[in-house]
Amino acid sequence: MRTRRGLSKLLVEPAAVATGDIAFNLIVFFLVCASSQPSTGRRQDLPSSEKSKQEQQNKSIEVSLTRSATMVTVNGDPMKSVEFPARIVRLLSQKQRPEDRVVIVKSTPDTPYQHWIDITSQIQDAGGSITIQREEQRTEVVGQ
Amino acid sequence: MKIARKPMKADVPSVAMGDIAFNLLIFFVILARAQDDTHVRWEPAKAIGVQPNASSRVSVVIDTNGKIHLNGRQIGEVQLAEAIKGLLGSQPEGKRTVLLKVHRTAPAEKFEPVIEAISQAGGEMVHVLNQEVKE
């Protein structure tokens, strides 16, 4: 009997105040876990359209991209993507003025973003500035 | 002879503090969701030499289905430039960052008009990418 009385004295309930704190900490934990979006990236400055038109009048480097991630066309000359960094560095090193270092990037509509970002990153790293040239899409109704 | 009254306690129960904190937290979470795009599904492309992003009030996402979302809300390609311009307002240079999150397989016909719209709106574009790890 003596032992039982001693045990009942030891059973102490945790303070109810603590449950709120536990809930709060759990929410913070799950919020931190949920925000797993990448927080890194790459800044890209595109010249304004008027400026880029002026620059395009000069002889600029033209890079064409297609669906194939292994091929790039530079000034009409097709090459493997792995050869592109060295080629763009060589071409840009011949251009001294910043306005001459504009690279026109033309992409077919099915060019994947991963391929596009790989090539444009290499152009930026080589000291070039990028201008996008898009084909105007026109819908023409042919006689029924 | 006056009988001294026992002073009555009128304390706020401390149990309520947790509930207040909880409600405040929910309030701020709901407020923050107005600009949240975590529900939009996209997979970032990988690149070498990526840097930590600056905070931004504007984010544009092209999701796995090629749909465009501005600050978590779906928007058409035509309205995008004006909407970004409105969000950026008269912010000075250096504070006009627009985060661009494009699904890695999105085709050029989807992302090029978005890039053009950001440029037209005077946004300073930052591509959100993952660091490429070379083995």
* pLDDT at site A144: 38
Q: Got the DSSP string for B95-133?
A: S-EEEEEE-TT-BHHHHHHHHHHHHHTT-EEEEE-EEPP
Q: Which of A17, A23, A42 shows the shortest C-beta gap to B14?
A: A17
**Would you say residue A143 has pLDDT above 70?**
no
Query: pLDDT per residue over A24-75, tens digit each?
Result: 778 777 776 665 566 788 888 776 555 555 555 567 899 999 999 899 999 9
Using a pLDDT cut of 90, give the percent of chain B over it. 42
Chain A residues inside the 8 Å CB shell of B43:
none
User: B48 and A121 in contact by Cβ < 8 A?
Assistant: yes
ipTM of the modeled complex? 0.75
DSSP, collapsed to helix, strand or coil, labels residue B47 as strand
DSSP code at position A95 = -
The rounded mean pLDDT for chain B is: 85
Name the helix (H) or strand (E) containing B19. Answer: helix B15-32
Residue type, position A59, single letter: K
Query: pLDDT per residue over B40-66, tens digit each?
Result: 889 999 988 888 877 788 899 999 999
* pLDDT at site B101: 93
pTM: 0.72
* pLDDT at site A63: 94
User: A121 and B112 in contact by Cβ < 8 A?
Assistant: no
CA atoms within 13 Å, Cβ hemisphere of B119: 19
**Would you say residue B95 has pLDDT above 80?**
yes
DSSP code at position A112 = B
Query: pLDDT per residue over B8-52, tens digit each?
Result: 776 666 667 777 777 787 777 766 665 677 778 899 999 888 888
pLDDT band at B109 (very low <50, low <70, confident <90, very high): very high
Dihedral sign (CA B74, B111, B98, B64): positive
* pLDDT at site B35: 64
Q: Which two tokens stand for residue A137?
A: 């899409």
Structure-model confidence comparison of residues A94 and B37, the more confident one: A94
User: A112 and B25 in contact by Cβ < 8 A?
Assistant: no
Q: Which of A23, A42, A43 shows the shortest C-beta gap to B22?
A: A23
Contact (CB, 8 A) for A114 and B104: yes
The rounded mean pLDDT for chain A is: 78
* pLDDT at site B126: 92
How many CB atoms sit inside 10 A of residue A110's CB?
12
Contact (CB, 8 A) for A44 and B126: yes
In chain B, the residue whose alpha carbon lies closest to the alpha carbon of A119 is B47
Pairing of strands B46-47, A129-133: unpaired
The burial class, CB within 10 Å (0-12 / 13-18 / 19+), for B52 is: exposed
How many CB atoms sit inside 10 A of residue A112's CB?
23
Give the mutation candidate from B46, B50, B51 for the A interface (greatest A CB count, under 10 A). B50
**Would you say residue B112 has pLDDT above 90?**
yes
Task: Tokens 């035509």: give the residue.
Answer: B78
User: B21 and A24 in contact by Cβ < 8 A?
Assistant: yes
